Structure 1
Amino acid sequence: MSDAVSALQGASFDGYCKVEEAGLIGMITLRGDLSSAGVAKAVKAATGAAMPGRGEIAVGKKGRAGWMSPDELLLIVDHADAANVVEAATKALAKEHALVVNVSDARAVYRVAGAACREVIAKLTPADTSVMQSGMLRRTRIAQIPAAFYLEDDETAVLVCFRSVSQYAFDLLKDAAKHGSEVGMG
């Protein structure tokens, strides 16, 4: 078996914000009835987080749970634990209409760090980044590709996209973070 590698193997760029590929991250799509007690229990077991509400990302001791749609969550866990989390959640939800899939190797994750991280993302998405706060998640697009992003804190945005467009996403983020391209949204 080959060793897992991230899409861009830790690529980074220093502009007025730092853009870096986050490396290997465990990501699991969980689809089902989000009002189900069984789903909430599986999410808590997987991440330690409570069920997120619409447009939210909840943080737990073992990971995060992000609301992606009325019947879909993105569970973010340690990459090495993803297969075990899928197995445990699949078993826990065996009597429910649910789907649990490890999508870790199909995604790329970037961190945009700096006081103007919202501005860098705003250049690329129609989402209103000025209202973003920690705990909020937006499923949207950057330029022409689907993506989701959230704030880890006031100076760190995390962006998730498909691995197949990872270089394009990184290049977009680099362009948006170049020195001299500041907009000053403040």
Structure 2
Amino acid sequence: MSDPVTALGGAEAQAGIAQVSEAALQGMVTLRVDLSVAAVKKAVKAVTGMAVPDAGRIAAKDDFTLCWMSPDELLILCSYDAAEATVSALTEAAGKAHMLAVNVSDARASFAVRGPHARDVMAKLCPVDLATDRFGPGMFRRTRLAQVAAAVWMPDDDSFRLICFRSQARYVWDLLNVAAQEGSEVNHFLTKG
């Protein structure tokens, strides 16, 4: 069996208006289920230590991050090595509740965009209102990144994380680097002093 690797081998770009990097391997479990079912809420809490987040929100604690994808989908981020165990634990904890838990870690790629112009970079590519009073840490969106589906959130005020399909990793990498190229600042989101 081969060793797992990221889609682009940990690519990083420091030049330009923002730092763009491929994130390390990330465990990702898709949970498809009616998130309002009490047994499901209890199972998620038992396995991750957290309640299912509200619509459009993300929550993190210890080794888990919960991303609200839709009323019937939750993306659970964990360490890469813990993804299979997380699927098993959720399935066991949910008992007879009708649900699907799948390890999708190897089907996705993850990127980070950091720096004071990170919002400029992302706003060029996503049809999301990224004004500081409209999108910030704790919020989560499924959206488009140019021509592909993506999910985005902000770990802090100057950085974004995003997930896309692994087969689209090179395209997303190229998009991010063009949007972050030197001299492409828009300065729309920088605080006026």
* TMscore range, shorter length: over 0.9
Secondary structure of the structure 1 residue equivalent to 2:125: coil
Residue 140 of structure 1 is matched in structure 2 by 143
Residue 169 of structure 1 is matched in structure 2 by 172
- For structure 2, the 5+ residue unaligned runs are none
C-alpha deviation, 1:46, in angstroms:
3.5
Q: Distance in 1 between matches of 2:140 and 2:3?
A: 31
Identity of aligned residues (%): 51
Change (3 A) 1:101 1:124: same
Secondary structure of the structure 1 residue equivalent to 2:6: coil
Which structure 1 residue ranges, 4+ long, deviate > 4 Å from structure 2?
none
Answer whether contact 2:17 2:182 (CA < 8 A) is retained.
Answer: yes
Is 1:62 equivalent to 2:76 in the alignment?
no
> Could you list the per-position Cα deviations for residues 104-151 of structure 1 after superposition, in whole angstroms to 9, with x for gaps in the alignment?
000000010111212111100111111211110010010000000000
Q: TM-score, normalised by structure 1?
A: 0.96
Larger radius of gyration: 2
Stretch of structure 1 that moved more, 9-18 or 146-155: 9-18
Change (3 A) 1:46 1:155: farther
Change (3 A) 1:46 1:175: farther
Is 1:91 equivalent to 2:66 in the alignment?
no
C-alpha deviation, 1:45, in angstroms:
3.4
State the aligned residue count: 186
- Which runs of structure 2 are paired with 1:1-186 in the superposition (5 Å)? 1-14=1-14, 15-130=16-131, 131-186=134-189
Q: TM-score, normalised by structure 2?
A: 0.93
Answer whether contact 1:22 1:110 (CA < 8 A) is retained.
Answer: yes
Answer whether contact 1:43 1:65 (CA < 8 A) is retained.
Answer: no
- For structure 1, the 5+ residue unaligned runs are none
